[in-house]
Structure 1
Amino acid sequence: MSVEPAPIRTGIIGFGLSGRVFHAPFLATNPAFSLDLIATGDAGRQADAHARHPDVVVVATPEDLLARAGELDLIVLASPAHVHLEQGLAALEAGLAVVIDKPFAASVAEAETLIHAAERVGHPLIVFQNRRWDSDFLTLKKLLTSGRLGRVHRFESTFERFSPAVRDRWQDTTTIAQGAGITFDLGSHLIDQALQLFGPAVLVHAETDVIRPGGVSDDEAFVSLQHESGVRSHLSLSRVAAQSGPRFRMLGSDAAYVVHGLDRQEPDLKAGALPTDDGYGIEEPSAWGRLGIDGPHSPLEPVPSERGDYPAFYAGVAACIREGAPVPVDPRESLEVVRLIALVHERNMRG
């Protein structure tokens, strides 16, 4: 008779948007994990954590949580990028597996330090690149495999939001040197997705700009990558776009694919949905992308969207910790993302 393994005892540092929306619901609903500790110093977030997860112990500081490392198997860093190095090293040295939010680190050197530390102590270091499991991205991967676009020569990816005023949050008040700014934030997703689809790339061109009064990091960016596979990726990012372009446009020799709007998992999770809910991650037909060639004689074909699957990330984390399976996101792949972001900022500092 098989015995169920004990749950993976988990603590989260940080209970802002990331800890509350992108981590806690998946840990709390996956039986492979127990959510045991949350660290947040904000009184409102402490109350929210207690309300959402009544059995969890909430502590005030990362140090308080790390002092109880012996009660845990895994720590999730849902904290600002500029503290990832210190917190990640402390967790690894305490003998824990680590899931670390993107941006992975504030510099190439910090990312390399974390990777070397994980290799030295022999504990998993896993970067949270959850948008590899977006519905639209999974649909793109399936389309590429099908060959229906022919030879792809250009990939356009746009992730734009509208937040016209600087707010009192770390993303707006810390600097590029501390891992802040739109290129580190949303660019970590778009560059990672492009590399996953089309392989290694070099930076061809980059533009960044600070738009909002009082801003201390980039609000808009454009990045052009040339992949070894021959594909050119054009990546557009903005915090101040009152209207957004297509989320993805992929141009091939036989057809193109265009999809608008963002994957629904984030807004649904913000509204209180759980990953175990019926219909989680399923896109309405109105949100499906279109495949084909413009023209009156060849109507564009709706392409059913693959189901969004953020739960797959933590399923992979559990398999890694319990069974020794490969990490669901290799930190060396995320290191290459940080390397390209560093080149973007270096180029723009030189003017």
Structure 2
Amino acid sequence: MNAPFAPINQIFEPAQLLMKNFLYVCFAGSMLLTACSNNENKSTTIIETSKTDSTIVTRTDTTSAGASAAFDINTIPVTSKEIGKFPYLNAPEGYHYNDVIKSDFENLHFAIKGRLTGIEGKSYKTNIYKNRDSDTPFSPELVDRAYNKAITDLGGVQVSDKILPGEIERIGKKVLEQGNHAYSIIGDNDYTLSHVRTYVLRTAAAEIWIELSLYEGGGYINILQKEAANVPKVSIIKADEIKSELDKSGKAVLHINFDVDKASLLADGKDAVNQILPVLKNNPDLKLSIEGHTDNSGAADKNKTLSIARANTVLQSLVQSGISASRLKATGFGASKPLTDNDTDAGKAQNRRVELVKI
């Protein structure tokens, strides 16, 4: 924006210079307040503006000095606007979505003040393309402005405009790739890291996160509504069922619940392990290989280590209950031997298991 006063030169006296600067600040402040008061667009359809559009998009650099400060979601105002239904945002006029990936529940990483933070909920992820019948190319700048206006008109707030160096390595590229993040995030170069924007939108009932990544020729958008996991209940196999399965096929599959990403047993996990005890006590010649398995979330080497640790937890629990360690061994296979696909929450729950195999 051009200054409303002519450049100050050397002929001004100090008092005049002070007054001129004061008037300038007042004028700029009044212009900003006026612009904010006119932001009343109620539409959730994004309209692309032309290159002659005079709208000024102002963004704060959220990755500078205060980047390490803790983020408090309660500082984001709750919008009173009607925002429609999930995923809330159509593609800009003249553009379209393609290759949509939906999930009822997953953990995606969003940049907050430049640092990647995992957030869980239902998600909608897609590419953004220019319509095929268009005679103009994809414009990252205009698409960026269109989304910025649509989101802020709804009451959303931008909380990051880049990803800080080292964040990709801290989370792990494989984790981000498995989360189907925008390719620009896992690209990990100066251009891509500086072209990822994060917004958050709060309503009285929901917290919505939006990740926008644009480049010459296309773009990506991830939309996630934060929600707690609705973990499907898995019933415990009783001791007589374990014995029956071992006699029939030489192995029994147990779904034993552990703490997330840990090898410590939850309460119902302990109940499941306790069902193994009578089988071993009533069959003193029985020896078992305890084999841990995970779903495919996270890095493969981490999953294998976790599966071994969980198998060892079961083994130690049985030993502490009086079973000789010479009758048991523990190993883990990570996600390398799934029972079913990992495309759904139900499938992943089936793949997270412990198998008892006759030795």
Q: TM-score, normalised by structure 1?
A: 0.26
Q: For CA contacts below 8 A with separation 6 or more, give which structure has more relative contact order.
A: 1
The structure where helix makes up a greater share of residues is 1
